[in-house]
Amino acid sequence: MAASSGESWQVFINFRGEELRGNFISHLEGALTLAEIKYYIDTKEVPSEDLTVLFTRIEQSEIALCIFSSKYAESKWCLDELVKITEQVEKGKLRIIPVFFNVTPEEVKEQKGEFGLKLYGEGKRKRPNISAWENALDSVPSKIGLNLKNFRNEREFVDKIVDSVKRVLEVIPLNGISKDLSSVSDSNGNISSSHIEQPKALPLDYGMEQRLKQLEEKLDFDSLETQIVGIVGMPGIGKTALAEMHFKKWNNRFVFKKIIRVIREEINDESDWLKDTLLNGKELNHKAQNFKRKIFVVLDDVSHKNQVKFLLKNLEWIKKGSKIVITTRDKSTIAELVHDIYIVPGLNDKDALELFKHHAFNDQDSSKTGNLLKLCKKYVDYAGGNPGALKELGKELCGEDEAHWEARLATLPHCCNPKIQSELRISYDKLSEQQKDAFLDIACFFRSEEEDYVKCLLDPYGPDSSEVVRDLAEKLLICISAGRIEMHNLLCTFGQELGSSDENKSGKRMWNHEKIKNTLRSEQIILSQRIKKVRGIFLDTSKLEDGIPIDPDIFIERFNQQNLRYLKVYDSVCPKQCDVDCKVNLPDGLEFPFQEIRYLHWLKFPLDELPPDFNPENLIDLRLPYSKIKRVWEAVKETPWLKWVDLSYSNKLTDLSALSKAFHLRRLNLEGCTVLDKLPEEMKNMKSLVFLNLRGCTMLSSLPERLDLVSLKTLILSGCSKFINFELISENLEFLHLDGTAIQNLPWAIQNFQKLVLLNLKDCKMLKFLPECLDKLKALEELILSGCGKLTSFPDTKEKMENLQILLLDGTKIKELPNILLHSCNFKGQVVLHRSPGMNGLSMLRRLCLSRNEEICSLHSSISQLYHLNWIDLKYCKNLLSIPTLPPNLQCLDAHACNSLKEVASPLALLMPTQKIPCSFIFTNCEKLEQDAKKEIICYAHNKSRMISDALNRHNKVFLYHPESSSTVQIILIMFCFTL
């Protein structure tokens, strides 16, 4: 019997009839009928009626049941129905329940596998309306829906579908469908609370729904396997709130369900408290009723492995299908127990701002608060998305005036909110003494420093520092990002405040300039100042109004000699050269007998050398930039741990012999030491040296004879204007800067630099020749010869330099294009453009600069076969007469002011289909350019434009537009400029 036009339906079934009608769909119809659910299926229509009538039935329905099967995408009817369904969903007039029958959600969403083949055909054939179909399929949630593979049989699957439909019908309001109309059922068939019409979420719930969805991806409540998931995060991030939301949503599936709170307060030994809690005091045996049933348990705030040891030992007793969620601040406590971990992220800026305003303005309209709203954003930035901090800071500021907000903001980085401090203190108190010291050192001194560097400073003698850093990361007190140690603002403030107190066994960390200034004053010593146990001093002199004259005995009188490890005198406003002298003055010298000093950084150190009693036995990092030293210290001293030395711009330094025994040195920076004329012969023993910077050492003429630095990767001699003799042995050298030196040639031994990537010879005015062994540098990617005015030829190389990408020859007198570029182009009888770009033999050259060369007259025709070349600079090549056919991927040709240029080849450049390469060909001030050449340039521009246009048209035929996407199609431009 045909359906009438005025009827309404609870469920519209969208499916591939040929595949499912006679079996699965018939069972589903029976189950829906039995459940008294009014459904629509296409058999209810007269066969001759038009397809558009089905669209009306979709509009009359409350729920669309979309059953995706392997042959679904064959049917134009199914796909057109799906497009209509998604339109209704977007309008808020329909709910959709995806059902995956022998296909995966990924295959449907991404149109791949057999499902994708049915959509596109074996040859990905074009079908009408393909773009709309792809958009509709793409909107199907990949992790939400009912999947046959998660059920034991089709009967159970059908029952679950019917149950899901009933649950959705229960939450649809009487006055219509709610606005939230995304999929209603998760991978286990449960209806998400986000699909229930609810009042606006409280501000404390901002961001929680998204977190809850992410957590639910870790747990499958229909799985027959026991799953244990950890929720991990720093204090205040919302672990407990998230676990409680999750428990509230899913606990109705279990008979035994329990939240065990604040477990960290329990003892850490192997007591039976957890067993007693889970088993109600009974023994674990076959009579333990609670473990005979599936359980859902949340263990909140676990702080020690022993607190969950009972579970780890007795997992086999827990019934399959149970779910356990554990929240903790320390990943290591649950690493052996959990199957997966969810690290709770901070709130995004929008949610964080709303949450903060809710508490700061007592949930009142904050749009009229003027400058306070700008201050809000600064507080939110500081809190870093931590909900607990946003709440406490907001409550602290609530009701205060703008002046108070400004004043508090100034103290925020160094004065922790009491309640935030109390929460963070819980984590700190559980650390070992070594972990506490490392945490405080990082918070006060070494935040954002490189991981390896910090490990060396913390403990250079063994692997303990690596373990300590790893432990702090596991406890979420630090994080490692891009090789650097980072710390949340809240933790940094807490650490700085605690580190500067007297309660630390290892000593205070002094960073407050006022306190340091008062301590270093040379006035009469009062009893409370007599001896301080200090671990580190970081004095920012930019914050001092006047200089501080230091008595030579001040450090001995004020600080315990066995504690001081770190001393830094710096200027945060002017970290390099300034006209202002150092504000820490040593008019009568200095005594400094500190045995544990590891880090000494003193900008503009005012003495000729470090004090005679300075002991570098434990020194790791020495930095004295812009100092007045003439030598580091008087005699050669043992420096077994010294790894970093920076004496840059110490323009009185003449003697480096003090470092003769720095055998483990990694980096040495002597840039700008303008009177240093030689390096010690003992440098050959620095087998760990990786980086040597001698830039601007204008008196230096050579390196020590037969210098062998096996680990050296970077050598900088830029601007060493008297440097004439380059000799070095180093098999690992990667970057060599000889620009601005007086060298006349390179030694043949350079061929041994098999790892050399960059060779910079810019402005070597005396350079006349390059060795013919240059082609032995197989790793070379960049060769810079700019400004080598006496260089007239390129060596006649025999081998290919396949990795060379940048060749700069501007300002040289080379007369023809180096044959190094042409070796790779000799493919007899073959057209290069038909070969693979990655094929062996093709040059990788991308940039070629010949500008201001007054000798070169033409370019070799083989340049057209340099497939990867995309930039050629010919500016001011005054004698250049013609340009041959150019490579196909060229993006920029600059021939500005080539005064003699008359001809260009026809075609100007080889054309290849492309979608995204913009081109800029510049022929300005080419006064002798012939008319035929101009026509050829214009012709090439037209052909290139047409090709790009065709490529864009092909692209747009399959381009899918998503309104929420910020992506746009790039507009491709070609620009030709020349004087007519």
Active site residues per annotation: 81
Write out 282-340 in H/E/C secondary structure: CCCCCCCHHHHCCEEEEEEEECCHHHHHHHHHCHHHCCCCCEEEEEECCHHHCCCCCCE
Residue 867: both structure tokens together? 């497939």
- Listed residue (238, 420, 485) closest to 347, CA to CA: 238
State how far the alpha carbon of 51 is from the alpha carbons of 48, 76, 631, in Å: 9, 10, 92
Listed in sequence order, the residues at least 6 apart from 670 whose beta carbon sits closer than 8 Å to its beta carbon are 647, 648, 653, 656, 676, 692, 693, 694, 697
Amino acid at 390: L
What is the rounded distance in angstroms from the CA atom of residue 23 to the CA atom of residue 159? 15
Residue pair 442/495 in contact by the 8 Å Cβ criterion: yes
Query: Rounded to the nearest 5 degrees, what angle is found at the Cα of 243, between the Cα atoms of 288 and 187?
Result: 85
Cβ–Cβ contacts within 10 Å for residue 763, how many?
Answer: 20
Query: CB-based burial of residue 385 (10 Å sphere; 0-12 exposed, 13-18 middle, 19+ buried)?
Result: buried
What is the rounded distance in angstroms from the CA atom of residue 801 to the CA atom of residue 406? 62
What is the rounded distance in angstroms from the CA atom of residue 587 to the CA atom of residue 14? 90
Backbone angles phi, psi at 342, to 5 degrees: -110, 115
Backbone angles phi, psi at 895, to 5 degrees: -115, 30
What is the rounded distance in angstroms from the CA atom of residue 552 to the CA atom of residue 323? 67
- Listed residue (814, 837, 815, 809) closest to 824, CA to CA: 837
Cβ–Cβ contacts within 10 Å for residue 676, how many?
Answer: 21
Owner of token pair 């969950």: 308
Listed in sequence order, the residues at least 6 apart from 517 whose beta carbon sits closer than 8 Å to its beta carbon are 539, 544, 548
What is the rounded distance in angstroms from the CA atom of residue 521 to the CA atom of residue 278? 63
Dihedral, CA atoms, 220, 223, 224, 230, nearest 10 degrees?
Answer: -20
Amino acid at 406: E
What is the rounded distance in angstroms from the CA atom of residue 392 to the CA atom of residue 410? 17
Eight-state DSSP code of residue 961: P
